[in-house]
Chains A and B, each alone.
Chain A
Amino acid sequence: MNEQELKNQWLSYDKKLDQLLSINFEQLKALRSDKAQSHIRSFTKNHIAVMIFGILWVLLLGFLFYHGRDNVFFAISIGSILLFNVFAVALYLKHIIILTSIDIAESITQTQEKLVQVYTSYTQTGRVLLLQTPFFCTWWYSEELVQNAGLTFWTINLSVVAIFTTLSIYLFRKFSLKNTSEKWVQRTDKFFGAEKLKKSIAFLKEIEEFKKDR
């Protein structure tokens, strides 16, 4: 069978489909009255809600930083947390700008590239935010505590800080898309969403390859 014959068969299948398909108007009416939202729009709305929460959180951190700046431990801890969160809010803002610029009627490579970029950056934001965890263990330290607390106190406290630091760096690195063949690492990756991220990045590469004229 040659190419044209095959194409003709497909076109006659198309005509046949047109006769056999019917629209369920009742469902269509229900869909319109439900004001159903598209996934992109609800994803954007979620982003806006999280960003508003993030801005309020940053303002609170700024307030705390300003009023507690005399305590060096508090200032460093809250200041660091503040910077991580400002970074996250800025990225969310960037995502919202990209998401609102998406026109679903644009070309496929253009739209998909934007969507995958937002998804990739979204996961990376979570990855970076993990690094703020140890600072939540140190904000309440004071010079008085440093001078007077005993060895047992510091052993326990610094162990907790060390555990959180190790864990946050471990998870940060797990999201870094390094390939590994160990099964337990693959399972961890899957649990923390790194697998989806890898797929998104692979798709982004696929789009770039697809656009190449060769």
Chain B
Amino acid sequence: MSPGQVNDDFIALLNDHKGIIYKVANGYCHDPEDRKDLVQEIIIQLWGAFEKYDDRYKLSTWMYRIALNVAISFYRKGKKKTTAPLTQNLIELTAEEDSGELDENVHLLNQFIDELDELNKALMLLYLDDNSHREIADVLGISESNVATKLGRIKDKLKTKFSQLNA
């Protein structure tokens, strides 16, 4: 495959799965400037790893692995400068979304995810995106039964939170 073909394929992949990058960056980084840097770092890592992509894995799962790994490392190291500071976002939202038209439940869910620690946050994002227990276990490097146990606990917390709000 020629370098040009690799670039075209990568851009197509990015276009198809840009939501993953956005959701991960949003979940781990609140400051808009830092988030811009995080998105850049995720894309650099994805681009670098794309040629070695193992097609035994689902593309979205592979993207999640990289995006979550980068986001957790970024989150843990705190604010940092990227090697190529950006003036604009690589992935942008239209004004409509920025105006805050999110469904209230999704907004609450985002708040709930925000309160989780780094690893459980990854677990929840993967679960909500309809990944199977097997896929979640693979991305996180834990057993399937462990995924089920942890998800059960998180769901209980989530139920309590929503029932408190609806009471």
Contacts and interface: CB of A to CB of B under 8 A. Distances in A.
Interface of A: 1, 3, 6-7, 9-11, 13-14, 16-18, 20-28, 30-32, 34, 36-40, 42, 103-112, 115-116, 199-200, 203, 206-207, 210-214
A106 B128 CA distance: 21
B127 to A, nearest CB: 8
Interface residues of B, number: 72
B62 A105 contact: yes
Given A9-B105, A18-B18, A206-B117, A108 B140 contact: yes
Interface of B: 7, 11, 14-15, 18-19, 22-23, 40-41, 43-45, 47-49, 52-54, 62, 65-66, 68-70, 72-74, 76-77, 80, 82-84, 86, 88-94, 96-97, 102-103, 105-106, 109, 117-120, 122, 128-130, 138-143, 145-146, 149-150, 155, 158-159, 162, 166
B97 A108 contact: no
Given A31-B43, A104-B66, 17 more contacts: A9-B106, A10-B106, A20-B93, A21-B18, A21-B91, A22-B91, A24-B92, A28-B43, A31-B44, A38-B41, A39-B77, A105-B52, A105-B66, A105-B69, A107-B139, A109-B119, A116-B76
Contact of A17 (B22, B88, B158): B22
Q: Which of B54, B88, B142 has the most CB of A within 10 A?
A: B142
Q: Which of A28, A212, A214 has the most CB of B within 10 A?
A: A28
Nearest to A22: B92
B130 A214 contact: no
B26 to A, nearest CB: 10
Nearest to A109: B141
Given A22-B91, A31-B44, A31-B86, A17 B146 contact: no
A39 B86 CA distance: 15
A11 B90 contact: no
A26 B87 CA distance: 11
B69 A111 contact: yes
B119 A107 contact: no
A37 B44 contact: yes
A109 B92 CA distance: 30
26 contacts: A7-B128, A11-B129, A11-B130, A20-B94, A24-B91, A28-B11, A28-B14, A30-B86, A32-B47, A34-B83, A36-B40, A38-B45, A39-B73, A104-B45, A104-B65, A105-B65, A105-B69, A106-B69, A107-B65, A109-B119, A110-B141, A112-B69, A112-B73, A206-B117, A206-B118, A206-B119
**Per DSSP, are chain B's interface residues mostly helix, strand or loop, or mixed?**
helix
A18 B68 contact: no
A14 B129 contact: yes
Contacts of B80: 39
Contacts of A111: 69, 73
A108 B105 contact: no
Contacts of B54: 105
Given A108-B139, A109-B142, A24 B106 contact: no
Q: Which of B66, B69, B145 has the most CB of A within 10 A?
A: B69
Contact of A1 (B11, B52, B93, B105): B105
Contact of A115 (B41, B44, B45, B73): B73
B90 A214 contact: no
A34 B87 CA distance: 14
Contacts of B162: 1, 6
A9 B107 CA distance: 11
A9 B102 CA distance: 11
